Amino acid sequence: MVTPPEKMSFSKAVLLLVLGTYFLGLFLGMFVVVRILLITPEYSVQAFMALLSYIGAPTGVALAFYSWKAKAENCIKIKGSLGRDDDDDDGGGQDGQDV
């Protein structure tokens, strides 16, 4: 029996768009850096550094956020599968003391 494909979550769609933009910007930026290298070589290092920071910073933040969100969702799933309904994340006993 064939099951219908699972609907993509919003966060996965956002992550895919960010990564798609990353690769588009990377290829376009590399083209610009190579053009600058051929025309005025003394500015190529600055152009390359600007490209890395412009593309790398938002992508790093998006990947970190998605990883954090996936971890939180997995913790909720594990708590649900173990039958725990408390919100005690520190693993301790009463009043925060370890058991």
- Domain assignment present for residue 62? The answer is yes
Query: pLDDT value at position 53?
Result: 86
Between 95 and 62, residue with greater pLDDT: 62
pLDDT in tens, 62-87: 788 888 988 988 898 888 888 765 55
Domain count, the chain: 1
Identify the CA nearest to 85 among candidates 72, 93, 76: 76
CA distance 47 to 50: 5
Is 7 among the domain residues? Answer: no
Mean per-residue pLDDT for 91-96? 53
pTM: 0.52
Has residue 3 been placed in a domain?
A: no
Structure confidence at residue 17 as a pLDDT band (50, 70, 90)? confident
In the Cβ-directed half-sphere of 61, how many Cα atoms lie within 13 Å? 5
